[in-house]
Chains A and B, each alone.
Chain A
Amino acid sequence: MPPSAFTSLRLNHVGRVFAGQAALVDLTLEIAAGEFIALLGPSGCGKSTALNCVAGLLPLSTGSITIDDERVDTLPPEKRDFGMVFQNYALFPHMSVAKNVGFGLQMHKTPKDELRRRVAEALSIVKLEEYAARLPGQLSGGQQQRVAIARAIVTEPRLVLMDEPLSNLDAKLRLDMRGEIRRLHQSLGLTTIYVTHDQEEALSMADRLVVLRLGHVQQIGTPRELHDHPANWHVADFMGYRNLVDLPVTRRDGDAVTLEGAGMTLHGTARQDVTVGETAAVAIRPEDLRLAREGSAAADTIEATVEVSEYHGHDFAVDATTSTGQILHFIAPDGLERGEQVRLTADPARVLVYARSLDAQTEAGGADA
């Protein structure tokens, strides 16, 4: 049985309602075999609901899931042939590591010799050969996580589902495991859906990202697309545009927008339809906001007072406030003193201007991806 023996998996208008509350609305997504998809969003955005719906642990309220032309959302989880890694690992505490990994094969009535061979193979992939006889309780968190991964891939499932698998690990281990999961995915060609609230994790691992908010899809795209062209300010916020400022639009000329307020004047690029007089959401990444050169025109810069300057390895992350108290985050090559006056500037192409309201844009944001 070759892994990912299908060409595409389709979620058609998948929705889920909990006691009258919509947890997931109209998720439509086509996943190609071998793709790594990350569902990204804050807690309560519907990403885990979506995963559980795909896994068969939650029934759908609307829509359907098909693999090629086979309908799978009506199958019970045990008939779907999916592997899943749970946030808390969910290892069977009374079974040895080898038994845990072999459980799925045993359920599929794999002959004993083959079972032993495949368990050994899966354990060697996650580098846990010598722990085969241990109980899960005798392993560290990272080792348990690797057992959970071995267990999810040993049956060569059509689809691997991962529910925030790294959130219980410490920062360093998380980085290591991130690389390991990515490596496994590439070498085994497993189709994967990965749920996370960590945008860095999603950006670094996934082929495509699905950003969710309150059950609604905000944007679907490659890490690059999302990072450089967020569909709305919510996605921008998630992609590391830490400066989100509401400012009134004073001038618009095509995509070039000028905004004034909160003690600053900004030139930016409209990413959504905004009109003069309307208050828009402006998104700027800290690394795109720079100290202005000496002698640049005062009209094009923002004056601010330094509040906090944090050393981040080779540069400094600085928080400063404008005359009206608006906090701005930027990166400076050198440390700045608290109370120091600075003048900031940004390339208009990297100042993204969005409509304030997300609701009206939800549909458009989902559709344009």
Chain B
Amino acid sequence: MPDTLERPSTVPGGQGAASAEFLTSAPAAPRSSLRHRLADRGVEPSLLLVAPALVFVLVLFIYPFLYGVGLSFQPASGGIGLESYRDFFTDPYEFGTIWKTMRLALPAALFNVIASIPIAYKLRGRFKGKRLLATMLVVPISLGTVLVAEGLLNFAGRAGWINRFLLAIGVIDTPIALVNNYWGVLFSLIITGFPFAFLLISSYLSGIDPSLERAAALMGAGWGKRFTKIILPLLAPGLATTFMLTFVLAFSVFPSATLVGDPAGATRVISLAAYQAYAEQFNYSKASAIAIVMGVVELAVLAVVMLWRSTLYRGSTGGKG
């Protein structure tokens, strides 16, 4: 026993051979009993394997985040204070970006969640061509924002197909502005956000035991009642989660706000404000402050959704999920 316990002290001595020997000779009594003692206290030693990932997160996320928080309290004019925040909240041009972003992110997230429900519900069973249809619905994920923006500009621009078609059939006299404004960004957010919402809701739906609906049908519930009384309550926590994820994605909108939006006006979203503070005004403190405000606003929305979600039934839904 003392032999095996002492061995580690020889390892720092250096060679790989020594440490390899230590590794192979170690699984004697002390190690397995340590494992058991840890297990008794609910500690799973293999969890140590996540340590590298933890370091990664600390270095690449936690540290920069805390650094940013610190930076936001060190205004460009020097010293330590709330000046950067004051700058942001007293200037309506800056402050207004919260509302401009919210005005895009909330409707886009809501639309994506609500539109996904009937489609995912309808695509739940087995039928011919299901895979093709689902693939087509999911393709926009792989396109990326820039390609979607390009497509939007081609289709919905002033000289795009939609306008040319509407002009040709005489519905409109002058081209309508569908891009380079609020609508362009909203369309882009819907096109790129919908696949996420659809995939998530599909998987939540497949977790609901189909025999629940059959049971409800036999008990006299038509499809409307089955949906509102059985499917929707069981799906609601999943809808909340899906909403939160698509909302966060939409709230950090940046490329499409520039490419298909009106980045100086209606779609000057909060991430653009932060970018301009950083890249055009070289005011890192203000840029950090804006980023922090952005995070706080997101968290506030998520908190409201989580609060609602906590009132729902969240147990088993009987299915495979």
Q: Which residues of A contact B (CB under 8 A)?
A: 55-57, 76-84, 86, 88, 90-94, 103-104, 107-108, 135, 137, 151, 155, 161
Contact A86 B315, beta carbon cutoff 8 Å: no
Contact B318 A104, beta carbon cutoff 8 Å: no
Contact B209 A88, beta carbon cutoff 8 Å: yes
For chain B, give the interface size range: 20 to 34
Instruction: Decide: A78 near B220, CB < 8 A? Known: A90-B318, A93-B316.
Output: yes
Give the contacts of B293-321 with A (CB-CB under 8 A): 313, 315-318
Q: Which of A80, A84, A94 contacts B313 (CB 8 A)?
A: A94
Q: Which of B211, B225, B230, B234 contacts A86 (CB 8 A)?
A: B211
7 A–B contacts, CB within 8 A, in A order: A56-B217, A77-B217, A84-B218, A86-B215, A90-B318, A107-B220, A108-B220
B189 CB to nearest A CB, Å: 32
A107 vs B226: C-alpha distance when bound (angstroms): 10
Q: Which of A56, A57, A151 contacts B219 (CB 8 A)?
A: A151
Q: Which residues of A contact B221 (CB under 8 A)?
A: 78, 103, 107
Contact A103 B316, beta carbon cutoff 8 Å: no
Q: Which residues of B contact A104 (CB under 8 A)?
A: 219-220
A94 vs B217: C-alpha distance when bound (angstroms): 17
Contact A94 B220, beta carbon cutoff 8 Å: no
A240 vs B237: C-alpha distance when bound (angstroms): 50
Contact A93 B222, beta carbon cutoff 8 Å: no
Q: Which residues of B contact A (CB under 8 A)?
A: 209, 211-212, 214-222, 225, 229-230, 233-234, 313, 315-318
Instruction: Decide: A86 near B220, CB < 8 A? Known: A93-B234, A94-B315, A135-B315.
Output: no
Residue with the highest number of chain B CB atoms closer than 10 Å, among A56, A80, A86, A161: A86
Contact B315 A107, beta carbon cutoff 8 Å: no
**Who on chain B is nearest to A154 by CB?**
B219
Contact A92 B218, beta carbon cutoff 8 Å: no
Instruction: Decide: A92 near B220, CB < 8 A? Known: A107-B225, A137-B316.
Output: no
Q: Which residues of A contact B211 (CB under 8 A)?
A: 86, 88, 90
Contact A94 B225, beta carbon cutoff 8 Å: no
**Who on chain A is nearest to B213 by CB?**
A90
Contact B313 A103, beta carbon cutoff 8 Å: no
A293 vs B222: C-alpha distance when bound (angstroms): 68
A240 vs B217: C-alpha distance when bound (angstroms): 38
Q: Which residues of B contact A55 (CB under 8 A)?
A: 214, 218
A87 vs B283: C-alpha distance when bound (angstroms): 66
Instruction: Decide: A77 near B316, CB < 8 A? Known: A86-B211, A94-B234.
Output: no
Residue with the highest number of chain A CB atoms closer than 10 Å, among B222, B233, B318: B318
Q: Which residues of A contact B225 (CB under 8 A)?
A: 107
Contact B233 A94, beta carbon cutoff 8 Å: yes
Q: Which of A77, A80, A83, A155 contacts B214 (CB 8 A)?
A: A77
Contact A92 B222, beta carbon cutoff 8 Å: no
A78 vs B217: C-alpha distance when bound (angstroms): 5
Q: Which of B209, B214, B216, B317 contacts A103 (CB 8 A)?
A: B216
A137 vs B222: C-alpha distance when bound (angstroms): 25
Contact B220 A155, beta carbon cutoff 8 Å: yes
Q: Which residues of B contact A91 (CB under 8 A)?
A: 215
A79 vs B316: C-alpha distance when bound (angstroms): 29
Contact A93 B217, beta carbon cutoff 8 Å: no
B118 CB to nearest A CB, Å: 20
Instruction: Decide: A93 near B220, CB < 8 A? Known: A86-B215, A107-B225.
Output: no
Contact B216 A92, beta carbon cutoff 8 Å: yes
Q: Which of B212, B215, B318 contacts A84 (CB 8 A)?
A: B215
B19 CB to nearest A CB, Å: 50
Q: Which residues of B contact A92 (CB under 8 A)?
A: 212, 215-216, 230
A161 vs B233: C-alpha distance when bound (angstroms): 27
Other than the known A77-B214, A94-B233, A94-B313, what 15 A-B pairs have Cβ atoms closer than 8 Å? Answer: A76-B222, A78-B219, A78-B222, A86-B211, A86-B215, A88-B211, A88-B318, A93-B315, A93-B316, A94-B315, A103-B221, A107-B216, A107-B219, A108-B220, A151-B219
Q: Which residues of A contact B209 (CB under 8 A)?
A: 88, 90
Contact A86 B214, beta carbon cutoff 8 Å: yes
Q: Which residues of A contact B316 (CB under 8 A)?
A: 93, 137
A135 CB to nearest B CB, Å: 7
Q: Which of B214, B216, B317 contacts A93 (CB 8 A)?
A: B317
B218 CB to nearest A CB, Å: 5
Q: Which residues of B contact A57 (CB under 8 A)?
A: 214, 217-218
Q: Which residues of B contact A82 (CB under 8 A)?
A: 218
A83 vs B214: C-alpha distance when bound (angstroms): 11
B188 CB to nearest A CB, Å: 37
A155 vs B315: C-alpha distance when bound (angstroms): 27
Q: Which residues of B contact A137 (CB under 8 A)?
A: 315-316
A199 vs B163: C-alpha distance when bound (angstroms): 71
**Who on chain B is nearest to A94 by CB?**
B313
